[in-house]
Amino acid sequence: MIEFRDVRKSFGEARPVLDGLSFSVAEGETLALVGPSGCGKTTALKLVNRLLDHDSGEVRVFGRDVRGEDPIALRRRLGYVIQEAGLFPHWSVKENVEAVPRLLGWKQAERHARSEELLALVALPAAEYGERRPRQLSGGQRQRVGVARALAADPPVLLMDEPFGALDPIARRSMQKEFLDWKRRLRKAVLLVTHDLREAFRLGDRVAILDRGKARQTGTPREILAAPADDFVREFVSDELPGAPP
């Protein structure tokens, strides 16, 4: 569903942020892109929905080069969840969830049915939470609304940038559990970005470890633990997961 081939992107400094990044995300699969802060994870994600454009290489979504796609139409087929949720503060929870269906011109009855269904999925029943404003919700609840909003038009692909990064450890843990539950039910292709290897191993079917603009290793958590590809991966894993097999 998503494919990066030898992608390069720089912001004009000497060293490019992404320097030959390659990986792919299959249908129904969750790929967790993990690496230290500032290594270019967000940049990579934004190349997919064309909030940024790459310099060279290829970014393909749904089998087609993103550079040939209309960015507006492309974004409406890609769910997007960011760390601070970015909910529209002047709209109710329901209106937030119905944002993309509204842009797509769905009828009101269809929109309402959809937002009720999704709010139920993220455990915020519309009857109780639908009319609230984002500021009347906790951080975890806002993040759930962010997920519901991203899923509203039933996009086959979901892009998530540190979606649980701003939550306290307890809320994060419970959101991670729920994520696994949504994932099983919805079977979307998910590209999830995080700096937390533990989270990447929990949520990703496969994990790509990013360093100096490249994926150092891509594989299932088991593969990475069993055979780290190089010293960077070995150290990253032993620093982040003390107690894991060397």
Ligand X SMILES: Nc1ncnc2c1ncn2[C@@H]1O[C@H](COP(=O)(O)OP(=O)(O)O)[C@@H](O)[C@H]1O
Binding region for Mg ion (CB under 5 A): 42
- Taking the complex as a whole, the smallest distance from the CB of residue 162 to ligand X amounts, in Å, to 8
Q: Is 66 exposed, middle or buried (0-12, 13-18, 19+ CB in 10 A)?
A: buried
Question: For residue 233, what are the CA distances in angstroms to 134, 182, 226?
Answer: 39, 29, 11
Q: Is 171 exposed, middle or buried (0-12, 13-18, 19+ CB in 10 A)?
A: middle
Question: For residue 191, what are the CA distances in angstroms to 31, 47, 113, 204?
Answer: 5, 12, 27, 9
Binder of residue 40, out of another protein, ligand X, Mg ion, none (CB less than 5 to 8 A by kind): ligand X
Q: Which of 30, 42, 49, 83 binds ligand X (CB under 6 A)?
A: 42
- Could you tell me which residues come within 8 angstroms of residue 237 by beta carbon, excluding any fewer than 6 positions away? 197, 224, 225, 228, 244
Query: Within positions 96 to 125, which residues make up the interface with ligand X, using CB under 6 A?
Result: none
Report H helices in the chain.
Answer: 41-48, 71-76, 93-97, 99-103, 108-121, 126-129, 139-151, 169-186, 197-203, 221-226, 231-240
Does position 80 interact with another protein (CB under 8 A)? The reply is yes
CA atoms of 162 and 103, how far apart (whole Å): 25
- Taking the complex as a whole, the smallest distance from the CB of residue 190 to ligand X amounts, in Å, to 17
Binding mask 109-148 for another protein (x = CB under 8 A): -------------------------------------x--
- Taking the complex as a whole, the smallest distance from the CB of residue 147 to Mg ion amounts, in Å, to 18
- Taking the complex as a whole, the smallest distance from the CB of residue 149 to another protein amounts, in Å, to 7
- Taking the complex as a whole, the smallest distance from the CB of residue 155 to ligand X amounts, in Å, to 22
Q: Which of 1, 2, 7, 17 binds ligand X (CB under 6 A)?
A: 17
- Taking the complex as a whole, the smallest distance from the CB of residue 86 to another protein amounts, in Å, to 3
Q: Which residue is nearest to Mg ion (CB)?
A: 42
Does position 51 interact with another protein (CB under 8 A)? The reply is yes
Binder of residue 31, out of Mg ion, ligand X, another protein, none (CB less than 5 to 8 A by kind): none
CA atoms of 144 and 130, how far apart (whole Å): 13
CB of 182 or CB of 201, closer to ligand X = 201
Does position 38 interact with ligand X (CB under 6 A)? The reply is yes
